[in-house]
Amino acid sequence: MREKPDVLQGTLALMVLKTLDVLGPQHGWGIARRIEQISGDLLAVNQGTLYPLLLKLEHEGSIASEWGASENNRRARFYRLTASGRKQLQAEAREWEQTAAIIARFFKIKAEDLA
């Protein structure tokens, strides 16, 4: 039995994994910025909450990290997706799409369709 993560956290984890999947290895700040960029102002994420999440994902083995140098030559920790993380991403993406599709169908429905 997997614990059902609360929506926000689960969503954030998915975003992190997807970001790493698309962009390759990134440091924490980079991930935060990408998420902000992509979601625009719609998502007011406290950037600080990202780091406990990164630690947790790493502990679970979905991502791995190593030291590297950032663009302006600062020492920074770079995160990359692991094989099991990629699998998790695919599974969760599928799950998410299913959920979204179901919800979408509910929203499309009109009274006469059920007559």
Partner 1 sequence: MKFLRRFFLRLSNLAAARNADQRLQEEIAEHLALQTDENLRAGMSHAEARRQAAVKLGAAQAIREQHHAEQSLPFLENLSHDLKYAARMLVRSPGFAFIAIATMALGIGATSAIYSVIDATLLHPLPFPSPSELVRVEDDLSGVGAQGVGISIPEWKDLQSSGIFQSLAITGTGANVNLTGAAQPLRLSFKQVTPNYFAILGVNPQLGRTFDPLDPTPGYNLEVVISDGLWRREFGADPRILGKALRLDNDVYHVVGVMPRGFRDQGTTSDEQNVELWLGAGFAGLPFPPPRRSFRLASRAVLARLEPRLSVAAAQERLDALTASLKKQYPADYPPQVNWTVRLIPLSESVVGSIRQSLMLLFGAVGLVLLISCVNVANLLLARASVRGREIAVRQALGAQRTRLIRQFLAESLLLFLLGGIAGFGLLFCTGHFLLRLVPESLPHLNAIGVNWGVLGFALAVSVAAGTVFGLAPAWLMSRSDLIGTLRQEGRGSSGSRERSRARQVLVISELALSLVLMVVAGLLLRSFWDLFQVQPGFNPDRVMAIQTWLPGPNDPSADIYRTATQESVLLREILRRSRTLPGVEEAAIGDVAALPLGHNHGDLNPLPLLREGVETMDNQAPIIDSPIVSPEYFHLLGMPLLRGRLFNDRDLEDTPRVAIINQAAARTWWPNQDPLGKHVRLRLDSREPSSPTGPAWTTIIGVISDARTESLSDVAIPQIYRSVYQHPAKNVAIFLRGPLDPSAISAQVRAQVQSIDAELPVFHAVTLDEVLSASLSVRRFSMEMVAFFAATALLLAGLGIYGTISYLVNEQSREIAIRLALGAQRSNILRMVLRRGLVLSAAGAGLGVAGALVVSHLMSGLLYGVSPNDLSTFATVTVVLATVALAASYIPALRAMRLDPITTLHSE
Q: Which residues bind partner 1 (CB under 8 A)?
A: 1, 3, 27-29, 32-33, 46-49, 51-52, 54-55, 70, 72, 74-77
Distance, in Å, from the CA atom of 107 to the CA atom of 105, rounded to the nearest integer, reads 5
We find the least distance from the C-beta atom of residue 18 to partner 1, in angstroms, to be 20
Q: Pick the closer one to partner 1 by CB: 70 or 82.
A: 70
Q: Both tokens of residue 27?
A: 């440091």
Q: Pick the closer one to partner 1 by CB: 28 or 85.
A: 28
Q: How many CB atoms lie within 10 A of CB 85?
A: 22
- Helix, strand or coil, per DSSP, at residue 62: coil
